[in-house]
Structure 1
Amino acid sequence: MSHPAQVKIPATYMRGGTSKGVFFRLQDLPASAQVPGEARDRLLLRVIGSPDPYQKQTDGMGGATSSTSKTVILAEPTVPDHDVDYLFGQVSIDKPFVDWSGNCGNLTAAVGAFAINGGFVSPERIPDNGICTVRIWQANIRKTIIAQVPITNGEVQETGDFELDGVTFPAAEVQVEFMDPADGEGAMFPTGNVQDDLDVPGLGSLRATMINAGIPTIFVDAEAIGYTGTELQDDINGNPDALAMFETIRAHGAVRMGLINHVDEAAGRQHTPKVAFVAPPADYVASSGKSIGAGDIDLLVRAMSMGKLHHAMMGTAAVAIATAAAIPGTLVNQAAGGGDRSAVTFGHPSGTLRVGAEAREVDGDWTATKAVMSRSARILMEGWVRVPGGSF
């Protein structure tokens, strides 16, 4: 019996922030995968090594975590005054689907560099030395993102001394601005409130802040669900009951936010919404062994991603944190001590992160103009990725 040969596809493996993924140019994909649909999803699943019942992704490029099971497709811009279209696919590890419902803020830091290297940015806009401003159209959520990419001798500068907790080695700093970060077409607060009572089976009524900014996110109080906000991955990810509780919160919050019609639909939408829990500042030891003092941070935040506690913080969730912190009355703002805030430094399992946001109230509704954070990015490998022919 003969078997089809492998197909090789131009690809780049990149780290962006605390995530990494496989990057493609749309024109380099096989014809059947250049349009949304089953062929594209099957191709990306096979590239990453999913679905894998062993949850290791050994036969693919994935790293068996939500932070490393990611794909990016860049294309010519479809919106005027932008350099590139950025489409993000979160690949499920053990199930056969790709979630296209949201953005990856961490990998956004790598999009600017890939766009420059991939020929999407006009050469006359790339300085010999300085900063290249890359205008990104985030196609999943239809928003503009601005990446400030450092350039040295006409090429992207990747090395540097900028340190990002959750990333082992320093690199060049990339500032990322998320413009008008309210996610999708709806209101920033889909319920119309900065806090709500969310009924969750087994937990009763929880106070929650449900916000569409960066990515749809449900914030709850750590103490209300039995936590302190200083937890690390091992405190939660090995506890099936805890994981089931967070998934129940996520499913019922998704219905309340209007993202799904019934809790049963949440299983097919793993990437969004996110669930995070917040607490006032406290001393703790990060996963690296670094001591974080209560005086070093404004609040504590832990977030779930694809059913597990994230090892650091998703970039899009950081946008949600920054935006919610800037709005009085949210659980995030209250955990940070209340009042008017244009920036916060929060503690996460790997360390700390400072994020800023501009928000204002117009006719009784809150809106945000932008959220800003610094990340870093680096090419890990480039060339071709291979997948068995006939797998897509």
Structure 2
Amino acid sequence: MKQPVILSVNSGSSSIKFALYPFTEEGVTGSNLTGVIEGLQPEGKPVIQCRTSNGTQTLTLDQTDISAAGGDQFAAALQALHGVLMSHSADMQIAAVAHRVVHGGERFSSSIVIDDAALVYLHTLDTLAPLHQPHNLEGVAAFRRAYPGIPQIACFDTGFHADMPTCETTLALPQSLRATGIRRYGFHGLSYRYVASHLAQQSARAFDPAAGSVIMLHLGNGASACAMKNGKSIATSMGFSALDGLMMGTRCGALDPGVLLHLMQQGWGEKRMETALYKESGLLGVSGISADMRTLRASSDPRAGFAIDLFTYRVIRECGALSACLNGLDVLVFTGGIGEHDALLRQQVAEGLAYLGVQIETAKNNAARGDGIAPIHTPTAALKCG
């Protein structure tokens, strides 16, 4: 009898992460296969890394693979991923596929089994997260074709923020517009929920009713910050769309809407503005070099240094605003590709937040590489950091 497993898929804007989780009547056990397809950002070179107990397998997608998929490197990556799963799961039976879906809109705040009607509704939200939602749903469609009859589950990034206070979710717009669903939703909720579950096991302080003020920083190609009080999201940097808040890899983050009015007066259309704000701004736009923090760190070009400085400044600035919403700060957590692997950024953010009590230990910070929540604060620090 084959081992039943759940396939978890995160089809993102620049990568696809996946894992197989065996389960029994007692529940889900640890993953026996994990992997990631990276290099799906503009000008990237797609590479698949698959990790099992026997080691790591690496597969590079060349132009022939991409051409065979009609020139679509994302579609080529999904086809290659299906092949990897087939070669590694001969003794397993996929019982369900769980997908990260960025936006659930007003209709969905908890996980659902995806049917045709749900898929149609979720596609109406594509314009609110154009770098993610179409990719998320393309992954759903691909796995529905590959595994017909197997339940496809949507887990929403907006769900963690569904119970934020009304003052946090309301935009200062006329009621006639707000009634159409225009409000602040928040994103990266699956990441924040995961971090919160680990904090519950490792930090009593994070859930202490008298001292449970937490800021979680999800810093990667997409970046956001979340203020959590006693395990609940009360404020976050992203809003109606995944464009708001922090500066990101190719997204501008918070922007004066007057800039958009100005561009419209200059003759800019919807598509041109969407491309500029979602795909040509952020680290890429400011540096003119790359959206990848690792590339910018390795560059001696002063534009790269300034882009990093601006990214760091925006993180520090947002943390100040969120700490005000929390009426203080007890715990600071870094996650996401940049947050987990860029020790210098963590150090600079800590220095900028020293007035809140953030103090990190250099050796611990330099050694931390995203394997669980590793404490990096100094022994005497009142504020916990990891």
Q: Which has the higher contact order (CA 8 A, sep 6+)?
A: 1
TM range, smaller chain: under 0.3
The structure carrying a bigger strand percent of its residues is 1
TM-score using structure 1 length: 0.27
- Whichever structure has more helix as a proportion of its residues is 2
TM-score (norm 2): 0.27
